[in-house]
A and B are shown apart, each in its own frame.
Chain A
Amino acid sequence: MLEKMMKSKLFGWIDERTGAEAIIKSQLTEYEVPKNLNYMWNFGSLALLVLVLQILTGIFLAMYYKPSAALTYGGYTVAFDSVERIMRDVNFGWLIRYMHAVGASAFFVVVYMHIGRGLYYGSYKGPRELLWIIGVVILLIMQGAAFFGYLLPWGQMSFWGATVITNLFGALPVIGEFLQEVLRGGFAVGDPTLNRFFSLHYLFPLLLVAIVGGHVHALHVVHSNNPTGLDVHAGKSTIPFHPYYTIKDAFGVGVFLLFYCYVVFFNPQMGGYFIEVDNYVPANNLQTPPHIAPVWYLTPWYTILRSFESKLIGVLAMGASLGILFLLPFLDRSKVRSARYRPVYRQMVYLFFVTVIILGYCGHSAPTPTLKLIGQISTAYYFAFFLLLPFVPMFEKTKPLPEEI
């Protein structure tokens, strides 16, 4: 199919002017990928798919959404009403909004799987350090975009979530108050905040697209890792990306869409995990909801924040928990990449995954003394995992590596 197209006269005309043939060959039909990738390697292309879905649905939502906290005759606000109008009056508005809201959660699901795969198989290790670092930047921008987007419906959770997070920045010494004012544009979260968050919510995905481009480029320079973590040799243990992995990725897309569509059509709020119930109550700056927690994908970091008595240390710890991801490639000194051949690291990384899930659970629940203690222990392990990495190779007996995949 592709070969036929590439032999056509039209393609020849385009190729002369763009070098399209060389690009297609080097990036697709002659781009070598290890032949033994398992399904964990599907999540990269899925993340790209969800990014496209989010941008597409977002553009259409922006045609009806109005970022204004001005009061309406009904006693609500322009922003809140415009979201309800999308849900009730705009043709297919409910579908597009649910696609977008579920898409936000789906984005984090696939990206967390993608990151987890990188951790387990040592994809962050040399020569892929920069590829990993660009990925962490993507994660941070995603979290920012999600946070900005969450304010837009101007419900109770939107308002108080934004209040809490902007207060976090206020806790920083020296620049804190300045940062807080820059974010809020007023003395409290209000109309100016809503306007700038909408602007930034539109900007961040554009940044994402650019940086994802860099991520893919960086990948194509160093090529994919694989479940064994071995360096592979072109031709012998690799197959071209197209058609082999385009087909496999397409299959993954089919499976993903099955789950995604199920949630979008039958359970879009996911029991309050994807869209919190309190967010259907219009924002009220004079009353905080009885229980307030971030959406699930931010709760692990929220628990780390809550685990410290001092506000400042909590904020710094939360920043550090994300910042330490940048250092991961340099903290891990082992010569072996994949956890398959690293018995100690394997246990550590499994425990790390469990810990993050526990942190997420704690952050989503109302604080109790027991949960606080569990959260603190989990926070301790979260950091211990990274800080132990330089010392693990000193005593870890790695299993023998195979000659070839």
Chain B
Amino acid sequence: MSETDQTRRNFLFAAAGGMGGIAAAATVVPFIGSMLPAADTLAAATTEFDVATVEAGQLVVIQWQGKPVFVVHRTPELLKQVDGHDAMLKDPNSEAIEAVSAEWITPENRKYRAIKPEYLITVASCTHLGCIPLFKPSPGRAEWGDSVPEDWPGGWHCPCHGSLYDVSARVINGSPAPHNLHLMPYKYLSETRVVIG
């Protein structure tokens, strides 16, 4: 018997073991991949809604991709409440991340965050930890007590951790939520029919 070539043996061991290890690690891809949303889940992606069914000043919560979505019919008074408190907002122009903006945003509708300013459509999940904020549209504390600050411009108050949003769903300074409520792509099929997603 000749002497064992230990270097050669170690190389072969590392090479074979390494390849086996890579192969074993690669099998993780299909298994974890299978736990991601399936194609049909991703395909069930649009929701149609008739905004004419929402009364002036009313808020409804509908579903889109299994997520809650706010549709608010903003009266002229409510639309006025959008102005005058930019200094209180973390991100008045909705530029911090992609999700708070949308393709249809123009300089004109930026502060309203809606294609038609009277109908605001946004994802209803607080950007802090996902609760659905409560709609508290009237300004000041008259209707809401001390759940909102004294200079409350009207908007949403999240019951979970106290995040505040204005009537364009923009997050107010001091809230634990980092971002404005998310927007999503949507378009008007007719005067009042909207397809979301």
Per the CB 8 Å criterion, the residue count for chain B at the interface is 13
Could you give, for residues 144-173 of chain B, a 1 whenever the CB lies within 8 Å of some chain A CB and a 0 otherwise?
000000000000000000000000000000
Does A396 sit at the interface, judged by CB under 8 A?
Answer: no
Does B11 sit at the interface, judged by CB under 8 A?
Answer: no
Q: Closest CB of chain A to B185's CB: distance in Å?
A: 23
Residues of chain A within 8 A of B35, CB atoms compared: 60, 63
Whether B40 lies near A85 (C-beta < 8 A) is yes
Whether A89 lies near B39 (C-beta < 8 A) is yes
Residues of chain B within 8 A of A63, CB atoms compared: 34-35
Could you give, for residues 27-43 of chain B, a 1 whenever the CB lies within 8 Å of some chain A CB and a 0 otherwise?
00111011110111100
Whether B38 lies near A85 (C-beta < 8 A) is yes
Does B104 sit at the interface, judged by CB under 8 A?
Answer: no
Whether B31 lies near A93 (C-beta < 8 A) is no
Residues of chain B within 8 A of A60, CB atoms compared: 31, 34-35
Whether B30 lies near A96 (C-beta < 8 A) is yes
Residues of chain A within 8 A of B34, CB atoms compared: 60, 63-64, 90-93, 96
Pick the most buried of B31, B35, B40: most chain A CB atoms within 10 A of its CB.
B31
Whether B33 lies near A91 (C-beta < 8 A) is yes
Residues of chain A within 8 A of B29, CB atoms compared: 92
- From B20, B33, B40, A92 is in contact (CB under 8 Å) with B33
Residues of chain B within 8 A of A64, CB atoms compared: 34, 38
Residues of chain B within 8 A of A93, CB atoms compared: 34, 38
Q: From residue 21 to 68 of chain B, which have CB atoms closer than 8 A to chain A?
A: 29-31, 33-36, 38-41
Residues of chain B within 8 A of A90, CB atoms compared: 34, 38-39
**Separation of A95 and B41 alpha carbons in the complex (Å):** 19
**Separation of A250 and B23 alpha carbons in the complex (Å):** 13
Q: Closest CB of chain A to B34's CB: distance in Å?
A: 5
Whether A91 lies near B40 (C-beta < 8 A) is no
Residues of chain B within 8 A of A85, CB atoms compared: 38, 40
Whether A95 lies near B40 (C-beta < 8 A) is no
Residues of chain A within 8 A of B36, CB atoms compared: 91
Residues of chain A within 8 A of B30, CB atoms compared: 91-92, 95-96
Q: Closest CB of chain B to A383's CB: distance in Å?
A: 44
Could you give, for residues 48-75 of chain A, a 1 whenever the CB lies within 8 Å of some chain B CB and a 0 otherwise?
0000000010001001100000000000
Q: Closest CB of chain A to B179's CB: distance in Å?
A: 29
> What residue in chain B is nearest A99 (Cβ atoms)?
B30
Residues of chain B within 8 A of A92, CB atoms compared: 29-31, 33-34
**Separation of A85 and B34 alpha carbons in the complex (Å):** 12
- From B13, B31, B33, B40, A89 is in contact (CB under 8 Å) with B40
**Separation of A91 and B31 alpha carbons in the complex (Å):** 9
Q: Closest CB of chain B to A35's CB: distance in Å?
A: 16
Whether A91 lies near B13 (C-beta < 8 A) is no
Residues of chain A within 8 A of B20, CB atoms compared: 250
Residues of chain B within 8 A of A89, CB atoms compared: 38-41
Does A233 sit at the interface, judged by CB under 8 A?
Answer: no
Pick the most buried of B13, B33, B40: most chain A CB atoms within 10 A of its CB.
B33
Residues of chain B within 8 A of A96, CB atoms compared: 30-31, 34
**Separation of A60 and B30 alpha carbons in the complex (Å):** 10
Q: Closest CB of chain A to B36's CB: distance in Å?
A: 6
Does A255 sit at the interface, judged by CB under 8 A?
Answer: no
Residues of chain B within 8 A of A1, CB atoms compared: 13
**Separation of A1 and B6 alpha carbons in the complex (Å):** 13
> What residue in chain A is nearest B23 (Cβ atoms)?
A257
> What residue in chain A is nearest B41 (Cβ atoms)?
A89
Residues of chain A within 8 A of B38, CB atoms compared: 64, 85, 89-91, 93
Q: Closest CB of chain A to B121's CB: distance in Å?
A: 28
> What residue in chain A is nearest B35 (Cβ atoms)?
A63
Does A217 sit at the interface, judged by CB under 8 A?
Answer: no
Could you give, for residues 32-52 of chain A, a 1 whenever the CB lies within 8 Å of some chain B CB and a 0 otherwise?
000000000000000000000
Whether A88 lies near B39 (C-beta < 8 A) is yes
Q: From residue 60 to 119 of chain A, which have CB atoms closer than 8 A to chain B?
A: 60, 63-64, 85, 88-93, 95-96
Pick the most buried of B29, B39, B41: most chain A CB atoms within 10 A of its CB.
B39
Q: Closest CB of chain B to A42's CB: distance in Å?
A: 17
Q: From residue 106 to 148 of chain B, which have CB atoms closer than 8 A to chain A?
A: none
> What residue in chain B is nearest A95 (Cβ atoms)?
B30
Q: Closest CB of chain B to A90's CB: distance in Å?
A: 4
Could you give, for residues 183-201 of chain A, a 1 whenever the CB lies within 8 Å of some chain B CB and a 0 otherwise?
0000000000000000000
> What residue in chain A is nearest B20 (Cβ atoms)?
A250
Residues of chain A within 8 A of B31, CB atoms compared: 56, 60, 92, 96
**Separation of A1 and B29 alpha carbons in the complex (Å):** 28
Residues of chain B within 8 A of A250, CB atoms compared: 20
Residues of chain A within 8 A of B13, CB atoms compared: 1
**Separation of A286 and B36 alpha carbons in the complex (Å):** 38
**Separation of A1 and B34 alpha carbons in the complex (Å):** 35
A-B contacts, 13 listed (Cβ < 8 Å): A60-B35, A63-B35, A64-B38, A88-B39, A90-B38, A91-B30, A91-B34, A92-B29, A93-B34, A93-B38, A95-B30, A96-B31, A250-B20
- New A-B contacts (18) at CB < 8 Å, excluding given A60-B31, A64-B38, A92-B33: A1-B13, A63-B35, A64-B34, A85-B40, A88-B39, A89-B39, A89-B40, A89-B41, A90-B38, A90-B39, A91-B33, A91-B36, A91-B38, A93-B34, A93-B38, A96-B30, A96-B34, A250-B20
* Chain A interface residues (CB < 8 Å from chain B): 1, 56, 60, 63-64, 85, 88-93, 95-96, 250
Please list the 8 inter-chain residue pairs (A to B) with the smallest Cβ-Cβ separation, ordered nearest first: A92-B30, A89-B39, A89-B40, A89-B38, A90-B38, A91-B33, A92-B34, A92-B33
